[in-house]
Amino acid sequence: MIEKKVKIINDAGLHTRPAATIVKLAAKFNSDFFIIRDGLSINGKSIIGVMTLAAEKGSELLLQFDGSDEEEAMETIVDYFERGFDEM
Amino acid sequence: MKDVDIDAFVKKEDITVEYFFEKAKEKFNIKLLTNALGMERKIIEQNLHRPGLALAGFVDLFSYKRVQICGNTEYKYLSQLSHEQRINSLEKLFKFELPCIILTDSNKPTSEMIELAEKFGIPVFGTDYPTTKLTYLVSDFLDDQFAPTYSIHGSFVDVYGVGMLFTGSSGIGKSEVALDLVERGHRLVADDVVILTKKGERILMGSGTNLVKHFMEIRGIGILDIRSMFGVRAIRYQKRLEIIIELEHWNKEHEYTRTGLENKTVKVGDVEIPYVRLPILPGKNITVVSEVLALNYLLKHYGFDAAKVLKKNLATKLKDQSSHIDRVIDDFEHDFE
């Protein structure tokens, strides 16, 4: 299992469109993907789960990947967070 | 499903006095008697304290970090003191970092109390509730605030009054089962993110999150709101967790329950929850199986265990050496319908 902290950098925060993109990206990998905020762990492959986080600009999330393709999954998803969900 | 250790549960570290006041003012009829000073003070535990001995000067082991409840005893003690003695006594109390003080039974604070409270920046509240009742209510409220919680991925449905949590890997059809159950008149508690709260030693309460409430995602359709679609009868906010059902693809390596004589459980934060692993197979209607599981759970709860009854009947038959296999009815009585 590998994990990484990410920060939300776009103004609108983690709203519906990026949430949908994240679950679509995550669904391509076999690894389990969890996002943790304030100790609350949600499944990163579920749209409702990701929206539950209500992560606004500046908030910090911990991403956890566990499985055979965890490295690749982490790279893809962390990159999407670092691009500010392509809204920068 | 693996056991969930209690260490995986999270607990609030503290709440501010302001948050407490905001939530509690209507519930317990609490009014702020001082200026809004020290509202950022933190409450860190659910226990309450009566500061009688501290007022009398004994401050060893004084649990000053707790919310302090001043009842009639403390009030009577203070009122029979002279002005100087009262200041002296109250100062002993206020020099500690108390979160706040609540005066019960409509007792009015003395002027010295308000002055000192404002000097030290400690909020003082008043209520007309008697001490015993207020203590019970505030403890219960704080117990809830500091209860350990755990978020779990699954669909949580009240089936015939039994709290059933469906778990399993992404895309296995948990939400579809929940939707099917709702369609058959059962009630959705939460889909996707279920927050479990430990109450006491043996109870886990499940509920949804305030943002998502009864929204649900069905792959191929998108996001639905169960409350708008099926009405208020189809939802509820909270339910005790009573059975966990894990859905999985048929795995011939796994052994599935046949008789139901052995009760499998899974430990979630030290609470044993009955646990069933259901394989998804063609022709298997998970919704109906879930309803039957709930009914069987209820039957067992009310004292009838089908597996045990059949086991007993078999044992009786075996003792009766001469018995052979009989029809359930020995005479059709010309009823050939």
Query: Does residue B322 carry a pLDDT above 70?
Result: no
Cβ distance of A48 and B10 shorter than 8 Å: no
DSSP code for A85? G
- Domain identity same for B270 and B295: yes
Does the pLDDT value for residue B39 go beyond 80? Answer: yes
Test A46 with B209 for CB contact under 8 angstroms: no
| B65 and B139 housed in the same domain | yes
Q: How confident is the model at residue B267 (pLDDT cuts 50, 70, 90)?
A: very high
- Looking at the complex, does the CB of residue A48 fall below 8 Å from at least one CB of chain B? yes
- Per-residue pLDDT at B300: 92
How many domains, in total, are found in chain B?
A: 3
Q: What is the pLDDT of residue B163?
A: 97
Q: Give me A22's structure tokens.
A: 């994240």
Mean confidence (pLDDT) of chain B = 90
Q: Which residues of chain A does B153 touch, with a Cβ-Cβ cutoff of 8 Å?
A: 42-43, 46, 49
For residues B295 and B165, membership in a common domain is answered with yes
Compute the average pLDDT of residues B176-182: 95
Q: Which domain holds residue B263?
A: 147-304
Partners of B27 in the beta sheet?
none
The answer to whether the CB atoms of A52 and B217 lie below 8 A apart is: no
Per-residue pLDDT tens digits for B87-102: 888 888 888 899 999 9
Question: A76 an active-site residue?
Answer: no
Confidence (pLDDT) at A65: 95
Residue B255 placed within a domain: yes
8-state DSSP, B26: H
Closest by Cα among B56, B144, B143, B54 to B98? B54
Query: What's residue B334's pLDDT?
Result: 87
Are B120 and B74 in the same domain? Answer: yes
In the predicted model, what is the mean pLDDT of residues B186-209?
Answer: 94
pLDDT in tens, A6-65: 999 999 999 999 999 999 999 999 999 999 998 888 999 988 889 999 999 999 999 999
| DSSP state for residue B268 in the 8-state scheme | E
Burial class of residue B142 in the structure, from the number of CB atoms within 10 Å of its CB (0-12 exposed, 13-18 middle, 19+ buried)? buried
Tell me, yes or no, whether B176 and B241 share the same domain.
yes
Residue B180 lies in a domain: yes
Check whether residue B135 and residue B184 sit in a common domain.
no
pLDDT tier at B301, thresholds 50, 70, 90: very high
User: Which of A16, A22, A43 would best serve as a mutation to test chain B binding (most B beta carbons within 10 A)?
Assistant: A43
At which of B102, B118, B145 does a domain end?
Answer: B145
What would the two tokens of residue A41 be?
């762990």
Better-predicted residue by pLDDT, B20 or A88:
B20
Q: Is residue B169 located within the same domain as residue B253?
A: yes
* pLDDT of residue B148 exceeding 80: yes
Q: Are B260 and B147 in contact (CB under 8 A)?
A: no
> pTM for this one?
0.85
Q: How confident is the model at residue B152 (pLDDT cuts 50, 70, 90)?
A: very high
DSSP three-state, residue B42: strand
Indicate if the pLDDT at residue B321 is higher than 80.
Answer: no
pLDDT value of position A13:
93
Q: Are B207 and B237 in contact (CB under 8 A)?
A: yes
Q: Are residues B236 and B185 in the same domain?
A: yes
